[in-house]
Amino acid sequence: MIPRKETRQIRVGDVAVGGGAPVSVQSMTTTKTADVEGTLAQVYALRGAGADIVRITCNDVEAAQALAEIVPRSPVPIVADIHFQYKLALAAMEAGVHGLRLNPGNIRNEEHIKTVAREAKDRGLPIRVGVNAGSLDKDLLEKYGGPVPEALVESALKEIRYLEEVDFTDIKISVKHSQVPSMVAAYRLLSEKVDYPLHLGVTEAGPPPGGIIKSVAGIGTLLMEGIGDTIRFSLTADPIEEAKAARQLLEYLGLRERTSLDLIACPSCGRAEVDVIEVATQAQKALEAEGLPIQVAVMGCVVNGPGEAREADIGIAAGRGRGHLFIKGQVVRVVPEQEMVEALLDEARKLAAEGVEARLAAADVGAAAIAQETRKQLVEIQGDANRTAERRARVAQIAE
């Protein structure tokens, strides 16, 4: 488990953020907020894709009125996104939202900020101080010569002082930048200065795959350092993709329990006995449709496949026209090559229903022996790519 920096804990509705709580996933609707049914449909879809918290823009009176209908019907806590007009923050709170996002770059009046903070304190609602490199105060831009990490952090700290002056500390912070190195540097610097929970994100990351790569690079780096309590992938795409990618990142890092498929596959090589790319694509499509929260391996060759992927819950490796199905590295069935995906899907369903031990106990008699003989035949035909015997002899010679 990755050691995480200790931060204060706040609550956005029923979701705890910081203080050792699981790292949460956030996303934002792209519908017009005034479209109550359309917005709610997207909120439900985001929840299904793994979002724990959803942010909705509150940019006019009609949006604030719509929030009064949306919030009571939402399956997740709703955060109102506020820009420029502080009165819309007051209206959103009256509509029942579970938190606010304020941008210090466009709500600059100290008294307006404090008015919102007092109301939020009375209602027990958190505020995210959401600094964005693209909307920094012009004074900070002139002071630092651009949206450098130090400028983002100073903007956040200035806003936090306003909030703390009215005894408001139910705060989380983001210092987002579109450049990954600057984003990482800003959060590292901020993490040294405060113990408030941090909301991680690369702003304006762009469309996939580039936007996902940037987000993983920035957010993943910080999470591996123990920094970050809640995350958002800011993609130019359907927000469902944001939530899915963010959730998968947390699962891959072991920061959230797996709830979706994790398919691993070898990159293929000249030793592969099948078209690994095609088999992996078919397997992923079939298994994702089942919604099974397991790790699956698709390996091109039975020589090393089961051993290399022994940590996977289940997998299949090709060899001599057959598919060798394995569970935790142990071959349990051998099937014709053309039935590989079907057999993998069938066994995955049984594994999810019955568990590892039961499926290992139900292994076909002789399956492991068939796989061992196939490995031996392939090594004789193709040679030992790892030169195992030769290298073992050399190691023994040196050790003598």
Strands (E) located in the chain: 10-12, 15-17, 24-28, 53-57, 78-82, 99-102, 127-132, 171-176, 199-200, 230-231, 262-265, 295-299, 314-319, 322-327, 330-336
Residue 10 has pLDDT above 90, yes or no: yes
Q: Is 316 helix (H, G, I), strand (E, B) or coil?
A: strand
Q: How far apart are CA 230 and CA 103, in angstroms?
A: 18
Per-residue pLDDT, 127: 98
Average pLDDT over residues 255-265: 90
**Residue type at 276 in one-letter notation:** V
51, HSE (Cβ side, Cα atoms, 13 Å): 27
Taking each helix axis from N to C end, the angle separating 36-49 and 239-252, rounded to the nearest 10 degrees, works out to: 20
Q: 395 versus 390: which is more confidently predicted?
A: 395
Per-residue pLDDT, 367: 87
Domain boundaries along the sequence of the chain: 10-252, 262-382
Q: How far apart are CA 375 and CA 368, in angstroms?
A: 11
Neighbours of 357 (CB within 10 A): 10
Residue 267 has pLDDT above 90, yes or no: no
Q: Which of 130, 159, 125 is nearest to 28 (CA)?
A: 130
Q: pTM, whole model, 2 decimals? A: 0.87
Average pLDDT over residues 111-115: 96
Distance of CA 307 to the CA centre of its chain: 28
Residue 385 has pLDDT above 60, yes or no: no
Q: Where are the alpha helices (DSSP H) in 5-148?
A: 36-49, 61-73, 86-94, 110-123, 138-144
Per-residue pLDDT, 186: 98
Look over the chain and give the mean of its residue pLDDT values, rounded to a whole number. 92
Q: Out of 3.90.1200.10, 3.30.300.30, 3.20.20.20, 3.30.1330.10, which CATH number does the structure's domain 10-252 have?
A: 3.20.20.20
Least confident piece of the model among 52-56, 174-178, 369-373? 369-373
Structure tokens at 206: 């762009």
Average pLDDT over residues 332-344: 91
Average pLDDT over residues 378-383: 73
Average pLDDT over residues 236-241: 96
* CATH architecture for residues 262-382: 2-Layer Sandwich (3.30)
Residue 241 has pLDDT above 90, yes or no: yes
At 200-234, the pLDDT tens digits run 999 999 999 999 999 999 999 999 999 999 999 99
Give me the torsion for CA of 4, 7, 11, 15, rounded to 10°. 0
Q: How far apart are CA 116 and CA 128, in angstroms?
A: 12
C-beta of residue 131 within 8 angstroms of C-beta of residue 189: no
Residue 269 has pLDDT above 80, yes or no: no
What sign has the CA pseudo-torsion 100, 104, 106, 109? positive
Average pLDDT over residues 166-193: 98
Residue 39 has pLDDT above 80, yes or no: yes
Residue 393 has pLDDT above 90, yes or no: no
Q: How far apart are CA 349 and CA 327, in angstroms?
A: 13
CA distances from 338 to 266, 275, 281 (A): 19, 12, 14
